[in-house]
Amino acid sequence: MFQKKPLAIMFSAGESSGDQHAANMFLELKKHQLDIKGFGMGGAKMAQAGIDIRFNSGSIGVIGVVEVLKHYGEIRKALKLMQQLVLTERPDLLVCVDYKEFNLKLARFAKQCGIKVLFYVSPQVWAWRPGRVKTYGKVIDMMAVIFPFETAYYDAENVPVRYVGHPSVDKVHPLHSRSKDMVIYGLDESKPLVGLLPGSRANEINRLLPVMLAAAEILQVEIPGVQFILPQADSISDELLENYLYQSTIKITVIKNQPYDVIQCCDVVMTTSGTATLEIALLTVPMVITYKLSSLTYWLGRLLVNTPFIGLPNIILGKGFIKELIQHEATPESLAEEIKRILIEPFYAEQMRDNLNQVKNELGQGGGSKNMAELALEMLK
């Protein structure tokens, strides 16, 4: 008797955040359809969720022109393998998660092979190259966006689009109360606590952690009893972190796998740009955003990007209520100065918290992973 083949979804995630989004989506899919198969490119989170990882994306999750060029051989190898998988496995659906340029090429190839394509997390067409809406529209069957204001860009070009909610809204939930975490981490509630979030990529750690540590050294002198904590990303090795922490005079509590518990304990955080800024916003913790790129990438970005802000909370509210220290402005002195201001000026910190609450309200109730699973099943029917 003929037995129906289980549905197979191919995933392509090239970065740490995409790995998490794809994993959450697949777990939701399995609630609806237990025998569904998942395979493709990703990392540890996707593997834990039951997706068969055919290419580990840990080595290619880089940002910036220079960084991409350095890893070009590995990225090209990954793309060829994924294209081969499209041909040999013939998935029922390809889900491309973020990792824009790579996934655009993969989506184009899959579309030519007659495979349905669902793209999750839109390129930032509101910041630069809005013409990409048409480019993506030609190679996908559906764009799933994570900010409500993004749908208008696709509707204007008649590209199928669905707002599914931001994934962070569902996952940003500490395991314990702040007081309990302070005890667990051996911290003093009566003294200020500064968080260091230097990123989830090796090149971010290399560029930003030394600056953050130097800022911490200034704060240690100027603010008596100040404490420091660092939530270590899964994608960052102990060796890489220790290389920098060993050289520093600062005592830093390093905590693995509990980013939201760590952040909620902080009075203020110095952070890279990206999704981390939204997660901090959802926990309504004041912050300063900092970022450094290679000189070439930064110069190209200045030419191409048409937005006054890089921090997502600032972009969502359309105002720079969080200080952004980018490139040459990202100095230990400027970082320390802003952190100190937040710690010693209660009204300034409270204003920032009020704005962060507005960001939280804008992002809504969540359900992103569940909405994505339902959208995928809808497309599979």
Please tell me whether residue 341 adopts helix, strand or coil conformation.
helix
Residues in the chain, overall count:
381
**Least confident among 154-158, 164-168, 217-221:** 164-168
301 has pLDDT over 80: no
Q: At what angle do helices 346-363 and 275-282 cross, to 10 degrees?
A: 110
In a domain, 170, yes or no: no
Verify that 347 and 219 share a domain, yes or no.
Answer: yes
> What is the reported pLDDT for 318?
87
Domain match, 36 and 126 both: yes
Same structural domain, 149 and 253:
no
Q: What is the pLDDT of residue 291?
A: 85
Same domain for 113 and 128: yes
CATH for 194: 3.40.50.2000
Does residue 304 register a pLDDT over 70? no
Residue 74 above 80 pLDDT? yes
Tell me what pLDDT residue 215 has.
97
Strand 93-97, strand 8-13: pairing: parallel
Is the residue at 242 inside a domain? yes
Express the helix, strand and coil content of the chain in percent, nearest 5 each: 50, 15, 35
Structure tokens at 202: 């090796």
pLDDT tens, position by position, 183-198: 999 999 999 999 999 9
The reply to whether 152 and 231 lie within a common domain is no
Q: Are residues 48 and 59 in the same domain?
A: yes
The answer to whether position 1 is within a domain reads no
Are 331 and 351 contained in the same domain? yes
Structural domain containing residue 265: 178-363
Give me the number of domains the chain comprises: 2
**Cα–Cα dist 324/310, whole Å:** 8
Q: Is residue 69 part of a domain?
A: yes
DSSP annotation of 379 reads H
pLDDT of 264 higher than 80: yes
pLDDT at 2: 46
**Does 43 or 304 have the greater pLDDT score?**
43
Is 2 part of a structural domain of the chain? no
- Tell me, yes or no, whether 172 lies in a domain: no
Instruction: Note whether 208 and 303 are same-domain residues.
Output: yes
The answer to whether 320 and 314 are in contact (CB under 8 A) is yes
The answer to whether position 3 is within a domain reads no
Residues 371 and 359 in one domain: no
* DSSP per-residue letters across 202-263: HHHHHHHHHHHHHHHHHHHHHSTT-EEEEEEPTTS-HHHHHHHHTT--S-EEEEES-HHHHH
pLDDT (mean) for 55-75: 69
| 215 and 96 in a common domain | no
In a domain, 173, yes or no: no
pLDDT at 346 over 50: yes
User: In terms of domains, do 283 and 376 share one?
Assistant: no
Tell me the whole-structure pTM to 2 decimals: 0.75
- Beta bridge partners of residue 196, listed in sequence order: 270
As a dihedral over the C-alpha atoms of residue 336, residue 339, residue 341, residue 344, rounded to 10 degrees, the angle is: -110
Q: Is residue 161 domain-shared with residue 206, that is, in the same domain?
A: no
Tell me what percent of the residues of the chain surpass a pLDDT of 70: 92
H/E/C letters for each residue in 102-160? Answer: HHHHHHHHHHHCCCCEEEECCCCCCCCCCCHHHHHHCCCCEEEECCHHHHHHHHCCCCC
Q: Could you tell me the pLDDT band of residue 16, with boundaries at 50, 70 and 90? A: confident
Q: Which two tokens stand for residue 247?
A: 């050289």
Answer yes or no: are the C-beta atoms of 363 and 166 closer than 8 Å.
yes
pLDDT tier, 234 (very low <50, low <70, confident <90, very high otherwise): confident
Mean pLDDT of the chain: 90
Tell me the per-residue pLDDT of 319-344, one tens digit each, with 9 for 90 and over. 999 999 987 898 999 999 999 999 99
Cα dihedral value 212, 215, 217, 223, nearest 10: -130
